[in-house]
A and B are shown apart, each in its own frame.
Chain A
């Protein structure tokens, strides 16, 4: 069974057809989320979704839309500060789950004296640096290799004059937005359209967190609402590229 994108659809416990598994001369086969290796040679999906392969990296995984965010090292997330302790902030990645720790010194150029003061309820764009089972995840806002922030840090509106807020989307949609070629692979072009000619060149900035949150910032409140609604409606309705174009045009017309 294949879906509209030509990717095979798998159900949990099904056997994966060996012809779909990529082979590579040098790299070993890498199994991504949603797949499990049963020795000696079986690969079975543990969730229902689309089977995706990458022949270059010799990897295979299942693309699915789940409800709960499970942190993985390297994920970019939008975290909300809950409270501050002696040397770390406690941040929540999703409601009603154990909070993640964000050391106060893991910001760009932070020392004991110059560290950012974040009040409870403020938002940070962070990377998950450590995520183990049965342990609280750890976040960082600085690249440990270069010492640079790489765009991570507290999420505040542009230059003090603008405004911004965070919108909830599904986890699958957040992953699609984060794809390197989101138009071709993720079939999301709504942000490009809003900034392009369909949206009349709206000026805004976004930060996408893998925990299903999108932060939208702009100079005008109206723009933020248009972008947020476009994202949420695309997500909810599972819209294709052409429908997204119509949605953007409709939203722009409505808000005029």
Chain B
């Protein structure tokens, strides 16, 4: 496995020197994100997030399985994160690096453990049949701040996803194809978003949002705050690194709330646009022979 490419000494020094002078290499403000783009695929549940040079693709899928024996009334919801060598040559298949483990843990805590998806609604026949919803996260390009981009992609893909409609008649479960019945959206309770702060300087006095890959390699600590637009915090992860003042962290949280509101508005807007694009509407829709049932 090739080792991760280290930045040179002058790059490391320069990033810090610039931050001391309130400057960033790409000319952003400290609390500014890189241009964020969200696109949906033709299929339901495919979301592609581009954040500067970082690109993450999330794909949601669902299948009917047997629920876990200890949770007969719950469906199954999993998030699979994979960093392939395509992301960077230092990542290897089947050998998770620290980045990958942290990414999947944080996504798990943010989206699954916060109850964003109502797993009870995935149950079809208690103890026998349930939906298993799975989101695959593919990191296509690593330009720093994977966590925020991946979290946004997963949330967007799940909100875009439609699972096939089902019915139970006389103990017989029928799963309808999209042609027979319009697929139904998941029962989604709230949309949590991750906002990652990076800290620089000897005492972590400089706090920066959305660090690039170079900045991530130089930072002394990082803190990921997950919250939804109502300001409900799902988790705060500050794993090691230099200690940071509690007051500074409080300030970070309040900025994170405004960012979470922005993300939420972006996802809502893009979903509405996508719905409009899919909705052919007009005379042709009314003249169609088949109806929506």
Co-complex (A, B) = yes
Per DSSP, chain A at the interface is mixed
Contacts of B89 in A (CB 8 A): 95-96
Contacts of A170 in B (CB 8 A): none
Does residue A155 face the partner (Cβ distance < 8 Å to B)? Answer: yes
Q: Are A122 and B5 interface neighbours, CB within 8 A?
A: no
Q: Which one, A32-40, A57-65, A196-204, A220-228, is touching chain B?
A: A220-228
User: How many of chain B's residues touch chain A, expressed as a range?
Assistant: 20 to 34
Which of A95, A155, A225 is in CB contact (< 8 Å) with B10? A155
Contacts of B282 in A (CB 8 A): none
Contacts of A254 in B (CB 8 A): 27
Does residue B255 face the partner (Cβ distance < 8 Å to A)? Answer: no
Query: Nearest 9 A-B pairs (CB), nearest first?
Result: A95-B5, A165-B14, A121-B9, A96-B89, A80-B8, A96-B2, A221-B18, A121-B8, A123-B8
Does residue B13 face the partner (Cβ distance < 8 Å to A)? Answer: yes
Contacts of B17 in A (CB 8 A): 163, 221
Sample 30 A-B pairs with CB under 8 A, ordered by A number. Answer: A80-B8, A96-B5, A96-B89, A96-B90, A119-B9, A121-B6, A121-B8, A121-B9, A121-B12, A122-B10, A123-B8, A123-B10, A155-B10, A157-B10, A163-B13, A164-B14, A165-B10, A165-B25, A166-B8, A166-B10, A166-B11, A221-B14, A222-B21, A222-B23, A224-B14, A225-B23, A225-B25, A228-B25, A229-B25, A229-B27
Per DSSP, chain B at the interface is loop
Does residue A117 face the partner (Cβ distance < 8 Å to B)? Answer: no
Contacts of A145 in B (CB 8 A): none
Q: A192 to nearest B CB, angstroms?
A: 21
Contacts of A80 in B (CB 8 A): 8
Does residue A135 face the partner (Cβ distance < 8 Å to B)? Answer: no
Contacts of A166 in B (CB 8 A): 8, 10-11
Does residue A56 face the partner (Cβ distance < 8 Å to B)? Answer: no
